Amino acid sequence: MVYADANIIIRYIINDDKQMAEKAEAAIDSGMMFVLSEVFAEVVYVLTKVYSIDRIDVANSMLELLPYVSTTVPSVMEASFLYYRESKLDFVDCILAAYCITGGKQILSFDKKLKNFIVRKTSENS
């Protein structure tokens, strides 16, 4: 297993450097790539803030990528991108919400938007 940094995924998605994009694609296609949630968070930040890509497009791109890489808790990462696509929460809050809603973890927060989102999603899933 090879751990990817954010640049691998960004080059793969943006395809702004053909040689790097091809290497990134080959690494992803190998089925041996592992992506930490922290790396996904950096990718989301760079794509939305630096490249000004719409959050829905970023989430969709990440959802398309997920089946081809390994990550710590795939169901949590999938839910994180789904929540990011449908909400105004920042991506790290979406990860926390996913750990709570899909992973059954208790989240302690003073963030009312995050807490309201978790309550709403939990009631929808009941």
Nearest to 65 by CA among 43, 48, 92, 38: 43
* pLDDT score, position 124: 87
What pLDDT band is residue 37 in, cutting at 50, 70 and 90?
A: very high
* pLDDT score, position 103: 86
Q: Which residues, 6 or more positions from 88, have their beta carbon under 8 angstroms from its beta carbon?
A: 113
CB count, 10 Å around CB of 27?
17
State both tokens at 51.
Answer: 């490249």
Whole-model pTM: value is 0.93
Mean pLDDT (whole number) for 79-104 = 96
* pLDDT score, position 20: 94
Nearest to 27 by CA among 5, 52, 42, 49: 5
CB count, 10 Å around CB of 69?
21
Asked whether the beta carbons of 81 and 66 are under 8 A apart, the reply is yes
